[in-house]
Structure 1
Amino acid sequence: MSDLESYLAGFDVDTGYLNWASFGPLSVAVREEARADEELSATGRPSGIELVAGHVDEARALVAGALDAAVDDVTLVPSTTDALFHALFGLAGTVLLSPHEYPSIPVAARRAADARGQLTVRELDAGITRLTPEVVQDTLTDDVTAVAVSLVDYRTGYLVDLPALREVVGDRLLIVDAIQGFGVVDVDWAAADVVAGHGYKWLRAGRGTGFARFSPRARERIAPVLAGVAGTEAELGDLDVGPPKAGAAAYAVSRPDPQAAGRLRAALREMTDAGIPSIAALVAENARRVMAIADAHGIPVLTDRDRHAGIVTLAPDTGRAGLIAAELTNAGVTATVRGGVIRISPHAGTPDAAFELLDAAFAAARVGPILSTPTPAPLLPG
């Protein structure tokens, strides 16, 4: 069995699960790692405790390898939001962002602006739905010190062009929320100064498996304002707080959870062994299969057909979303349906049978009665 085949064999989920953008059911390897670490942590033996604690450094090294970064650039955090709060609270100047971002970015930016008074938040016009290089270029002014963006739009699956954004942003910082793309898209991560991610969606590693990369340039400009005891050089008994640690370790409030790090390590090892390009190709192909099924049933596709990851968002005719949602449930398909839009998110390991169930659900909804639905609204959460 090849590494890719082994990776695909770890998708032990219900056939109709097409909701990876919301939550990633744990892989077989991650579950095995979690059980083993629980046993090691239960004995109280120093050897077992130390073995599990070692997962933190192992996970950091694997994240660094995936991002083509130095290990010192990487820190483990509880969530993507934690990493974004560290980045934006330590930033001065003006950050440019879209009001359509998942709230993790705008909430962190506004909290930082209100709390410290050193950051100004500038939002793009609400009529602009994609943060493209052209839009950024037309909006940038000299006072902008950073641009914050999601690698993949949680609403539509639009994949931003990181290298092109890097070129436009220039010497400013580029802060990227990678949760909807890390592990399933093949991109040049070096284009970003800050990468904030989490393993509970596409990596299938469960909650608490967040991570962040702060490049040397980012660390020069982002103060570790929220550094806790784990982010300083202070020793037990020191009366002085002490200076921040060197590297990305400064952006930590507390020590990482070693069991969460173990799950992240297991997921990352699967991912790297299988190969990101191979996984990304399968995810993109499966997204195109969803689009083709939607096209066959006359359901409009909101997702950009040229730049997308694993998310496909559909906009049925007014009154059809409720009926489609019911038929998806009847067919055993798990997806996100909210505000008149439907978000389907297949993974690399999604079986052919899942697409057959999706096709059958759309067919059943096509002949059913029209139900009233509310005006489309943003997809929340996740």
Structure 2
Amino acid sequence: MNDWESYLGSFDGEPGYLDWASFGPLSPNVRAEVHADAELLGSGRRSSIELVGEHVRESRELLARVLRTDAEQVVLQPSTTYGLMQAVYGLAGGLIVSRGEFPSLTVAATRAADALGSIEVQWIEPDGGFVTPDAVREALTDDTRAVAVSLVDFRTGYRADLTALREVIGDRLLIVDAIQGFGVIEADWEAADVVCGNGYKWLRAGRGTGFASFSERAMERIAPVLSGFAGVEGDLPLDAVPQPAPTAEAFRVAGEDALAFARLATSLRDILDVGVSTIESELVARSGDVMYFADRYEIPVVTPREPERRAGIVALAPAPQDAAPLAASLANHGLTVTVRSGLLRVAPHVGTGADTMRLFGDALAAFSSARVW
């Protein structure tokens, strides 16, 4: 069995799960690592504690490989939101954010503006919620210092073009919430100045596995406002307050949960073994399968059709009177999806098998046959 077959075989859950954009059930390797490390930490031996603690360093190095950067530019965080807050609170000047972004961005931007007064939130409302290069270009002003965007939009599944956004904004900072695409699609990470993510969705590593990377430009322009005692270089002196570290470590608050990052390191090794580009190819195909069934039963899709503009999320937009019956049909057929604001978010993974897709097709067929035109 090759690495790819092993990776596909690791999706061992029951058929019907189409909600990977909400939570990724832990992989077998991650579950095994949790049990092994818990036993080590239960021993009380310093060598065992230090062995588990090595996963913190390993996670940073593996993240740097995926992000194509240096480990010193990566910092571990409890969640995506922590990383975004570190970036946003340290800004000065205008920050472009779509009102339709996930609240991790909109709330952080609003709170930072209200509390510090150092940033001005420049809200945009692009067509369809798609933060396109043209939408950003139209919103730029002389006061704009940064743009914050999701790599993959949580509502619509739209995949941002980081390369084009970089060309549009020039020397301004580009802050990316990457949670809905990191590790499963290739992206131009070098175009971004700050990349924040978490391993509890597509990486199947569980919560508490967040991270952020900061480019040299970001570290020059973003003040480590929320830097804690762990955000210093070297040993912490007890009778003085040192300056923040000159690396991304400045954006740490406290020590990391080694068990959480043992999970993250395990999941990162798994995806690096098979390659992100291989995962992306299969994931885009799976989202295409969802679109095929939606088209077959005439259910509108708002997610872009172009493979390069989507990842694993497909958003269905039934007529208002059809949303509840469609959601009920999916649930009655044993399918798990997210229903929010009239949209049904269907999110397969590469290990989503033919049995799940058959259930999905059956659920849509049942809904269609009972639909009143």
Q: TM-score range with shorter-chain normalisation?
A: over 0.9
Aligned residue number for residue 293 of structure 1? 293
Counterpart secondary structure, 1:54: helix
Amino acid at match of 1:344: V
* Cα distance in structure 1, aligned partners of 2:220 and 2:237: 29
Q: Report what 1:188 is aligned to.
A: 188
Distance across 2 between alignment mates of 1:268 and 1:191: 22
Aligned to 1:375: none
How far, CA to CA, are the matches of 1:323 and 1:249 in structure 2?
50
Secondary structure of residue in 1 paired with 2:348 = coil
Q: Distance in 2 between matches of 1:178 and 1:233?
A: 27
- Name the structure 2 match of 1:323: 325
Counterpart contact for 1:9–1:349, Cα < 8 Å: yes
Measured against aligned partners, the alpha-carbon deviations of 1:43-68 in whole angstroms (never above 9, x if no partner) come to: 10111100000000000000000000
Change (3 A) 1:157 1:127: closer
CA shift, 1:339, in A, is 2.8
What is aligned with 1:208? 208
The aligned residue for residue 49 of structure 1 is: 49
Is the counterpart of residue 224 in structure 1 residue 210 in structure 2? no
User: How do 1:6-155 and structure 2 match up within 5 A?
Assistant: 6-125=6-125, 129-155=129-155
Provide, for residues 296-343 of structure 1, a one-character-per-residue CA deviation record: whole Å limited to 9, x for no partner: 011011111111110000011231111111111111111112332211
Q: Name the amino acid aligned to 1:339.
A: S
Question: Match of 2:254, as an amino acid?
Answer: S
Partner Cα distance (1:18, 1:205) in 2: 17
Corresponding position of 1:314: 316
Q: 1:287, 1:67 → 2: CA distance?
A: 24
Structure 2 residue identity aligned to 1:189:
W
**How far has the Cα of 1:127 moved from its partner?**
5.2
Distance 2:74 2:134 in 1: 30
Task: In structure 2, list runs of 5 or more residues that go unmatched.
Answer: none
* SS of aligned partner of 1:319: helix
CA displacement at 1:240 relative to structure 2: 2.1
Q: 2:343 aligns with which of 338, 341, 347?
A: 341
Q: What secondary structure does 1:114 align onto?
A: helix
User: Per the alignment, in what secondary structure is the counterpart of residue 129 of structure 2?
Assistant: coil
| Deviation, structure 1 residue 212 | 0.6
Cα deviation digits, residues 56-89 of structure 1 (max 9, x gap)? 0000000000000001000100000000000011
> 3-state SS of the aligned residue for 1:347?
coil
How much has 1:245 moved relative to structure 2?
1.2
Amino acid at match of 2:369: V
Does the CA contact (< 8 Å) of 1:234 and 1:241 recur in 2? no
The 3 A distance-change label for structure 1 pair 126 and 289 is closer
Query: In the TM superposition, what are the counterparts of 1:142-181 in structure 2 within 5 Å?
Result: 142-181=142-181
Q: Once the 2 structures are TM-superposed, how far is the Cα of residue 146 of structure 1 from its aligned partner?
A: 0.2
8 A contact 1:232–1:241 mirrored in 2: no
| Residue aligning to 2:275 | 275
Paired residue for 2:334?
332
1:206-241 CA-partner distances (Å, limit 9, x unpaired)? 000001100111000001110111002485562322
Structure 2 Cα separation of the partners of residues 9 and 270 of structure 1? 12
1:94 CA drift (Å): 0.8
State how many pairs are aligned.
371
Map of 1:380 onto structure 2: none
Q: In structure 2, do the counterparts of structure 1 residues 220 and 185 end up closer, same or farther at CA, with 3 Å as the change threshold?
A: same
Gaps of at least 5 residues in structure 1 are: 372-382
Q: 2:359 aligns with which of 346, 357, 360?
A: 357
Secondary structure, counterpart of 1:213 in structure 2: strand
In the aligned structure 2, how far is the partner of 1:91 from the partner of 1:205? 30
5 Å matches for 1:249-264? 249-264=249-264
What fraction of aligned residue pairs are identical, expressed as a percent? 53
So what's the TM-score if we normalise by structure 1? 0.95
Q: Distance in 1 between matches of 2:253 and 2:18?
A: 35
Amino acid of the residue matched to residue 93 of structure 1?
G
Matched letter for residue 343 of structure 1: R
Q: Is the 8 A contact 1:234 1:243 kept in 2?
A: no
Distance in 1, Cα, partners of 2:130 & 2:156: 10
For 2:366 and 2:285, locate their aligned partners in 1 and report how far apart those are by CA, in whole Å: 25
- Give, as a single letter, the amino acid of the residue that structure 1 aligns with 2:100: H
Please report the RMSD computed on the Cα atoms of aligned residues, expressed in angstroms. Answer: 1.4
CA distance in 2, matches of 1:233, 1:318: 55
**In 1: Cα distance, 2:335 partner to 2:71 partner:** 40
